[in-house]
Structure 1
Amino acid sequence: MADIQWNLLTVLLSIAIVPLFERIVIPAVVLGVFFSWLVPIAVPILQFFCDSFAFLAQLPTTITFGKPPLLFIVFWLIIQFLLEYSKHARWLLGILICSYVIAAALIRLPFTAEVVYFDIGQGDCTLIREPFNQSVTLVDTGGKVNFQHEQWRERRVKTTGETIVANYLLSKGISHVDNLFLTHQDTDHVGNFASLSKVIDVHRILVPQGMEQLASFRKRLRVSNNTLQQVQGISTKVTSRIGMFHLLHPFASGTGKNEDSIALSFSLQRIKFIISGDLDKQGEVEVAQRNPKLRADVLKTGHHGSKTATASVYVSQLQPQLAIISAGVNNRYGHPNAATLATLAKQHIPFLNTANAGMIKLMPQEKGFIIQTFNENRKVK
């Protein structure tokens, strides 16, 4: 998904770059080539310009506009064409600027909430955003297990956190995340965290209490754009609510394993959702026992539809209208498991699987929700 980002320094640098190169950079290069005794003078000049551009690149001057609707793009092309030939350039320029503002407002301040279950292969990543982007939350980031290779075989490849999750956020005019819940330590849930943090600003990271002490997590944190001060270990002993989210699990400090997974419930437009990482059946049953009135309209099945999760008694209490499964196409684990699908079928609960549907977007309404699914070849409403 393409996104529009504009740096405020673009116009200034575009005007300044040509004379700078013509009068300073090119002469310095030529002198260095033909008069070797001038190299000690030319090199510092070129290094100064390289350092200056690197410094300017780090300044927070980039505006994330977002991906405008096709109608706006066609309209802008027409207006720019008319500007070349019309005598009413001022009026047209005013209309053009107003349309930019309207498009930016529509993209960055959406009227509807949405919950997006990303198609990132065998992993988990969910976006929750309120109307007008009052809060933007990610639950997990997805990730891929990489096997060790010799150093000469290693190369930098963009993660799905960058190519899918970050691109989607930027296309919606979102350049930051208020809350990032990392449900537990497994790579398919947190592996993209570091690379994603370099593109999207993460304000707060919430992990199951005890996971913040793990060496493996701190190693990921060191190569991210975040610090330990931005990390908060949570359990129901510490807090029951984080903003709009009701914390259901973990009950105490642990080590970030499946049985320590964060489980959350939240409501958007009166539609109730539950997400629980890789929490196992025993944990689900205990959550149900501690919250006897707990219900969910949309259930994110635990552990990618594995037979270790989605306990029948748990599903029976929640009474969901829809189940969401996040799994990779032809994954080696056989997710979703036949036992999980049988549990859903027995209780007449329809499900969507990212392996088949691609990215799944739910837009809650007062009386239900709108579902959009996306795959590589088509979009289905």
Structure 2
Amino acid sequence: MFEQLADVFTSAAFKYLTAVDASPVSNQHEIGGLVKAGIGENLGTPDDGSQRKIAATLVYLSEEEGEPVIAEDTVTWYDTRYQDPNRAPEWRLYYKSNDVSNRFEPGDFFMIAATHEGTLLMIFCPPGSEYEEQIRTLFGVRDAETNKRGLTGVQVGRPGFALPVRLMFARYGIEIGSDGTDYLDLILDKFGANFPKTKDFSDFARGLTRDISPIDTPDTALIEWMETEESAFRQLEKHIVQQRLREGFGDNGDDVDEFVRFSLSVQNRRKSRSGHAFENHIETILLANSIQFDRGARTEGRQKPDFLFPGSESYSDTSFPGEKLRILGAKTTCKDRWRQVLAEAKRIPRKHLITMEPAISEAQTQQMAELQLQLVVPEAIQASYQPAQAEWLMSFRDFIDEIHGIQR
């Protein structure tokens, strides 16, 4: 489902952290200026001195960390001057030390957003990083100047490009509220309280979406199928995890090692499942379009391209024209992993890679072009790229048309 920012968030603001914001000395951290930035109105400013406890997701994004660091916590919103009737209210947001706050530093980029469900999303990342550019792009402030004296408000209600917003954040491991569709009963009727095979769940997720043609609109189909599967899987995962937590771990229910093993298995399943789901939906679209290909076929050096066209038999036949061979790598996120695709088929100098990653930097896409790696990005996500980049990008529809052209 393609959404405007206002479909997910009520307000947002950003800044670069000061030394006070990121002080490691105190066990408490505070952020002020939310009222001026427009977020205080959504959090509420009662005049009876009451504090509000707000559920918050804190996220630290860094290339050094590799995977996002996420902390689910409760923050406190209150008026620090309530006891002083001679001074105007000063509302601040306090949050405790955790895995995220232990990592950020003065100067880091910070985005805070309030959701329609009344929760907060707080994202931190190094300044000038690709993560900052992506977060700015998702919030529509890629080139916005920063208020040096405090938070800069984001106009979430202004018209902008529509993106699969929840799916974009799910790439960072962030679950934002709900799109209002409850699939749990259908899932439990089909699979019970168990994790099914990814292929079976992908098939099931496609059946939950509206009637959409993978032939007429392959880009839209890919995004909607991925978004539906992501939402459905998180609902099943939440149900299973809650059930497991109620049961406890070990004979006495307090085995820490068993709990850690369970937690790691949940995280690892999330990572691997998303990539396999992406390939499953791509495969279904290619089959619907009568494309000849092999999935996971081997080439030289035991390399295994995600998709090889028209297949391994033609690739290994040296008399088959090299200009009619193609490979397509599939990665939900690129980072530096896009270079892996370059070594996957020596007979094919120009490689293709399909991704859902928004706003990859111009420096990265320039390197890709120089190394003959053609990026394929679903049409809706291309809006997050700079105009010059978008001219070079291929959509999934473009790629399918190219394959049809050489397979006729």
What interval of TM-score do these two structures reach, taking the shorter chain for normalisation? under 0.3
From the CA coordinates, give the structure whose radius of gyration is larger.
Answer: 1
**Larger RCO (CA within 8 A; separation ≥ 6):** 2
Which of the pair is proportionally richer in helix?
Answer: 1
Q: TM-score, normalised by structure 2?
A: 0.26
Q: TM-score, normalised by structure 1?
A: 0.28
